[in-house]
A and B are shown apart, each in its own frame.
Chain A
Amino acid sequence: MHLRSSPPPRADALAKATGAERYVLDFAPAECLSAGAYRPGAALNIAHGRVLGVDASAALAVPGVLRVLTAADVPGTNLQGIVHKDQPVLCGEVIRHAGDPVALVLAESAESLRRGLAALRADIEPLPGVFDPEAALKKDAPLVHPQHKGGNLLLGARIEKGDARAALKNAPVVVRGEFSTPMQEHAFLETQCGFARLLPDGVLDMTVSTQAPFRDRFEIGHALALNPFKIRIRAPYLGGGFGGKDGATVQCLLALAALNAAGRPVRMSWEREESILAGYKRHAVHLRYTLGAERDGTLLALSCRLTYDTGAYAHLGCEVMELGMEHAAGPYRVPHTHIEGRCVYTNNPIAGAFRGFGVAQVSPAFEGLMDALAAKLCLDPLELRRKNALLPGDENCSGVTLTSSVHLAECLDELAAHPLWTTRQAWRAAAPRFTRRGVGLAAVFNGMGYGRGLADMAIAKLELTEAGEFLVYNSVADMGQGNAAAFALLAAQELNQSLAENPGAVRLLQPDTERCHPSGSSSAGRTTYTFGNALLKACAAMREKLLARAAMALFVDETQALELAPGAVLHPASGRSLPLTALARFLKRDDRVCVGEFLMPVAQDPPDTGRAFQIGFPHLFFSYGAHLARIEVDELTGRVRVCDFLAATDGGRVLDRSCFDQQAQGGAAQGIGYALLEEFKTRGGLIQTADLSTCLIPTALDLPDIQSLAVDGHEPTGPRGLKGVGEVGLNGPAPALASALEDATGERLRDFPLTPERVLAALNKRRPPSRRRA
């Protein structure tokens, strides 16, 4: 017998499972012109160079090539960027990384575009480049942005609490370590894409695979001197985003193409190689850490310096580093902290937002030192974490008092009681020949929302349609995390409609800047929290309104006597009811609409530190997680196999268990890839892993059956008590796997990813085998 799982599947699941769902390019009209960027750096082996000229003559001779545009054709500032506008739409004077575009080709077809791009020639004189942040900060280093006041230092910042220097001097135990974490490619399955058309009334109508349609209008408007309110952006379901579609990818280039297409529709779709070449990456970070504690393991002080390589442009580099710094001491009580951060321009690929936003980079360092401390003090590593774990009311490492929900201790208790942990010694001892086994763990957290200084806002619009169904005007793009389905579920619960019986009772309109109300981006673990809260308000207003309107038709003089029921308003006392279809006809269109808005609360009395940050410091809400990994290491090849992986997560109250587990498993999977096999390589700023045959991500054979445990917390400010759960899962695997590897081999690897070559070198350094943890 086929057993149906009890809750109905995600609202978008069946349409996607049958291939019926439409993504951006599926909506593109057949008669679209094709636009593409010419990025000559990679072919010329130049990551930093002066643009002496672009020869378009051969390209323009290609049949079907309509226009070749260069920087001279760009109206406006020709600068894009979410916060810091430093990235040209088309480079006119200098290319600062190998993927910088110097021309835009507009052609009749994809084929003529390809030929046109191949026929373009650019004369680029190589300039000395900087490819390492330390080298970039040296006196006389070539400058990536000569006009930037700080030279190659995009931002230097400090978070301080207490007196870390004195506390470390007096600490009975001190551990130190240097770590490095690599760049990471988002590798969403749908590459960056969109299509656009300039309408006769002057409106630029765009459909884009984007995480921030409302903000995109302003970024495009600034770059191209367009009125942002004459740009309409639609964002259908994305084929993945993970941060890499936050901020302009195709947007400005596509808009420029449409402005030059005489009213014809234009499409742009990056090929996979272009996506890897020009797309944003996770920042590579170098970390230097010192941690001091009492002999009983009570943490006293942390001092660290983080160096983020933001590549050629700022993108969200300052904000990514801010979040990393805010999480630098881990989810622990640390009375004294001194956290320094430097975000540095280089001629490497552009780094930007990526799930785990700066925090995935610091977690291997703080957890690495927690293991070192446990080893030095002969303490159980789980006990040490439990002892120092943040509790409600504690002050975190930036000095914010946690008035929000905190359930890290419960996450650790879940691990402590789990058979994968309690049976670890017997399991490890049973390692097959030429194999070592190890068990590791990590405690992590991740802030939710934009932080102070930037309104984390959403406005939800809800309509009772003429057909008597509810329509949610979703303002926050769904890149796959299921927020749209969560909105349908929240609305159905609040409006007492049954999606199981009638999946059409609540319908969804995906973001459209013309029809939906403005809301922030799909990012920062904020999506379901902020928009969900706004939507609940809209639903409450709708329920009140419908009861009041139905009272008239049902001859009832008190709305309290009425109930909103599936498909109708009921008067239980008399058994009379009014179908929503009838009620909808009774109301005028503008009377069938309710709007709710929500602004995320921020930390009150923020600590007087981190003054260098323009926005985003500090955060008030955090999700927490504890991860456990059991691995086997092949002594002959250095290959690490993840046998078991367990993620216990505090994401507040669980709204939909399946969606919750999806986030935990998906985040952990990307984290395992980041930790073990995603070695994004550059040499002199040139990408060596240029396609999916070398830029690897985990396949189904590289991952175990990742287990997800939910700690059922409750965040009082969250919609139905939930918190954002999308990001925290990425932060645990790297430290948990490094911990397991140390348990297996006795060596702590501090440079990621933990490739077979590195593991083998560590094994060879340390024969015969020794175990530090008995």
Chain B
Amino acid sequence: MKLSFTLNGVLVRADADPDERAVDLLRDLGALDVKEGCGTGECGACSVLVDGVHKLSCLLLAAQLAGRELTTAAGLGTVAAPHPIQRAFAEHGAVQCGFCTPGMTIAAAALLARNPEPSRLDARRAISGNLCRCTGYVKIVDAVCAAASELSEAPGGETPGAEDQA
């Protein structure tokens, strides 16, 4: 089946099998920043934003992406122009093996879009569906809160997540 959707701001057209998972299609399209850790919705590594909403791409069918706006970690920012969340993750030591990190930053972006001034507990709740086996989460929570303060204090109130991907 043919479908089209917006991937990180670029319109893509794809030919997908009816039972193809979104995570497989995205990776086939070159979105290698989308990781798979379990395939059953338990680990959160495959997190993406679908129309700004945090979703697990291992539990979505490719067909469900039709007409949607998809944001993956690479759509938040790049090494040359990182999103404040991504920069905060790097600067606050929130990255170890890094395999959960793209999904974690997506969960963080979804949080900050709906709650620009989260408490540490808010941050913990927002990433509680994303497993990390390396960090113990302390520095991830540090990074999410640091990114929140930076974004809320930024002139013009820059907002993270899907909103600025339109």
Residue of B nearest to A705 (CB): B138
The answer to whether B86 and A18 have CB atoms under 8 Å apart is yes
Q: Does A16 contact B (CB under 8 A)?
A: yes
CB contacts (< 8 Å) of B43 on chain A: these are: 189, 272, 692
Contact B38 A691 (CB under 8 A): yes
Contact A658 B33 (CB under 8 A): no
- Asked if A14 meets B86 with Cβ closer than 8 Å, knowing A23-B99, A482-B96, A665-B136, the reply is yes
Q: Are B98 and A16 neighbours in the complex by a CB distance under 8 Å?
A: yes
Interface residues of B in 58-88 (CB under 8 A from A): 72-74, 76-79, 82-84, 86-87
Using known A-B contacts A18-B79, A189-B132, determine if residue A239 contacts B99 with beta carbons closer than 8 Å: yes
> Which segment of A4-12, A197-205, A218-226, A437-445 sits at the interface?
A4-12
Q: Are B138 and A14 in contact (CB under 8 A)?
A: no
Q: Say if the beta carbon of B56 comes within 8 Å of chain A.
A: no
Give Cα A160 to B132, complex, Å: 41
Q: Select one of A16, A18, A190, A699 contacting B78, CB under 8 A.
A: A18
B49 at the interface (CB under 8 A from A): no
A668 within 8 A of B: yes
Cα separation A535 to B72 with both chains bound (whole Å): 37
Closest B residue by C-beta to A16: B98
Interchain nearest-CB distance for B107 vs A (Å):
10
Chain A residues 241 to 260 lying within 8 A of chain B, measured CB to CB, are 241-242
List the B residue with the shortest CB-CB distance to A693.
B42
- Please measure, in the bound complex, the distance between the C-alpha atom of A444 and the C-alpha atom of B94, giving whole angstroms: 26
CB contact list, A1-53 vs B, under 8 A: 1-2, 4-5, 9-10, 12-23, 26, 30
C-alpha gap A240/B150 in the complex (Å): 30
- B72 to chain A: closest CB distance in Å? 7
- Whether B7 is near chain A, meaning CB under 8 Å from some CB there, is no
Contacts of A238 in B (CB 8 A): 97
User: By the criterion CB–CB under 8 Å, are A691 and B40 in contact?
Assistant: yes
* A479–B124 CA distance with the chains assembled, in angstroms: 25
Flag if A692 contacts B141 (CB, 8 Å). no
Measured between alpha carbons, how far is A346 from B37 in the docked complex, in Å?
A: 30
Q: Quick check: B93 and A272 within 8 Å, CB to CB?
A: no
Instruction: Decide if B133 touches A658 in the complex (CB within 8 Å).
Output: no
A187 at the interface (CB under 8 A from B): yes
Indicate if B116 sits at the interface (CB-CB under 8 A). Answer: no
Q: Which residues of B contact A2 (CB under 8 A)?
A: 84, 150, 153
Is A706 in contact with chain B by the CB < 8 A criterion?
Answer: yes
Query: Once the chains bind, are B135 and A9 in contact (CB under 8 Å)?
Result: no
Interface pair A26/B97, CB less than 8 Å apart: no
User: Does B102 contact A19, Cβ atoms closer than 8 Å?
Assistant: yes
Contact partner of B97 among A271, A480, A700, A701, CB < 8 A?
A480
> Is B101 close to A, CB under 8 A?
yes
Set A186, A239, A691: member contacting B98, Cβ < 8 A: A239
On chain A, the residues within 8 Å of B139 by CB distance are 658, 661-662, 665
| B71 → chain A closest CB, angstroms | 11
| Residues of chain B contacted by A701 (CB below 8 angstroms) | 124-125, 128
Q: With A19-B73, A26-B32, A188-B97 known to touch, is A665 a contact of B135 (CB < 8 Å)?
A: yes
Closest Cβ of chain A to B98, distance in Å, is: 3
Chain A residues within an 8 Å CB radius of B37 = 189-191, 239, 272
**Contact at A188–B133, with CB atoms within 8 Å?**
yes
A658:B93 contact, CB within 8 angstroms: yes
B37 to chain A, nearest CB (A): 4
- Residue numbers in B under 8 Å from A4 (CB-CB): 91
Are B131 and A21 in touch, CB under 8 angstroms? Answer: no
Judge if B100 is at the interface, Cβ distance under 8 Å. Answer: yes
Judge whether A700 and B133 touch: CB under 8 Å: no
Contact of A668 among B95, B96, B136 (CB under 8 A): B136
B57 close to chain A: CB less than 8 A:
no
B95-A692 in contact (CB<8A): no
User: In this assembly, does A670 line the interface, its C-beta being within 8 Å of a C-beta of chain B?
Assistant: yes
Closest CB of chain B to A281's CB: distance in Å?
Answer: 14
**Residue B112 CB within 8 A of the other chain:** no
**Bound Cα distance A657, B156 (Å):** 35
The interface residues of chain B lying within 8 Å CB-to-CB of A482 are 96
Q: Is the interface of B mostly helix, strand, loop or mixed?
A: loop
**B136 pairs with A17, CB closer than 8 A:** no
CB distance from B28 to the nearest CB of A (A): 8
Q: Which residues of A contact B79 (CB under 8 A)?
A: 14-15, 18, 20
Are A479 and B133 within 8 A (Cβ)? no
Assess whether A692 is in contact with B74, with CB atoms less than 8 Å apart.
Answer: no
Contact in complex: A189, B133 (CB < 8 Å): yes
B5 an interface residue at 8 Å Cβ cutoff? no
Most buried by B among A479, A661, A692, A698: A692
Residues from chain A with Cβ under 8 Å of B39 in the complex: 271-272
Bound complex: CA A12 to CA B100 (Å): 14
A703 touching B137, Cβ below 8 Å:
yes
Q: Is the CB of A189 within 8 A of B74?
A: no
CB-based contact A19/B101 at 8 Å: yes
Q: B40–A242 contact, CB under 8 A? A: no
B162 at the interface (CB under 8 A from A): no
Closest to B90 in A: A13
Give the contacting residue for A240; candidates B40, B90, B134, B138; CB below 8 A. B134
A12 vs B97: C-alpha distance when bound (angstroms): 9
A9 contacts B40, CB within 8 Å? no
The 8 Å CB contact of A10, one of B33, B93, B125, B138, is B93
List, in ascending order, chain A residues with CB within 8 A of B136's CB: 665-666, 668-670, 698, 703, 706
Q: Which residue of A lies closest to B82 (CB)?
A: A18
Partner of A479, one of B28, B87, B97: B97
Residue on B with the closest CB to A672? B136
Are B131 and A669 touching (Cβ within 8 A)? no
Contacts of A661 in B (CB 8 A): 93, 139
Contacts of B131 in A (CB 8 A): 187, 189, 692, 697, 699
Which residues in chain A, 670-708, are within 8 Å of chain B measured between CB atoms? Answer: 670, 691-693, 697-701, 703, 705-706
Does B109 lie at the interface of the complex (its beta carbon under 8 Å from any beta carbon of A)?
A: no
Are A691 and B73 interface neighbours, CB within 8 A?
no
Return chain A residues, CB-CB under 8 Å to B134: 240, 480, 662, 666
In angstroms, Cα B132 to Cα A662, docked, is 12
Contact B97 A17 (CB under 8 A): no
Could you tell me the distance in whole angstroms from the C-beta of B139 to the nearest C-beta in chain A? 7
A613 at the interface (CB under 8 A from B): no
Chain A positions 624-667 with a Cβ under 8 Å from a chain B Cβ: 658-659, 661-662, 665-666
Q: Are B125 and A12 in contact (CB under 8 A)?
A: no
Tell yes or no: B22 within 8 A of A by CB: no
Query: B95, A16: Cβ atoms under 8 Å?
Result: yes
A4 to chain B, nearest CB (A): 6
Q: A23-B35, A190-B35, A480-B96 are in contact. List 9 more A-B contacts (CB 8 A).
A: A10-B90, A17-B105, A18-B74, A19-B74, A186-B133, A480-B99, A691-B42, A697-B131, A700-B130
Nearest 7 Cβ contacts at the A-B interface: A19-B33, A480-B97, A16-B98, A669-B136, A239-B99, A19-B73, A692-B42
22 A–B contact pairs at CB < 8 A? A2-B84, A2-B153, A9-B95, A10-B95, A13-B89, A13-B95, A14-B82, A18-B82, A20-B74, A188-B97, A189-B100, A189-B131, A190-B99, A237-B98, A239-B97, A480-B134, A661-B93, A662-B93, A662-B135, A666-B135, A669-B135, A692-B131
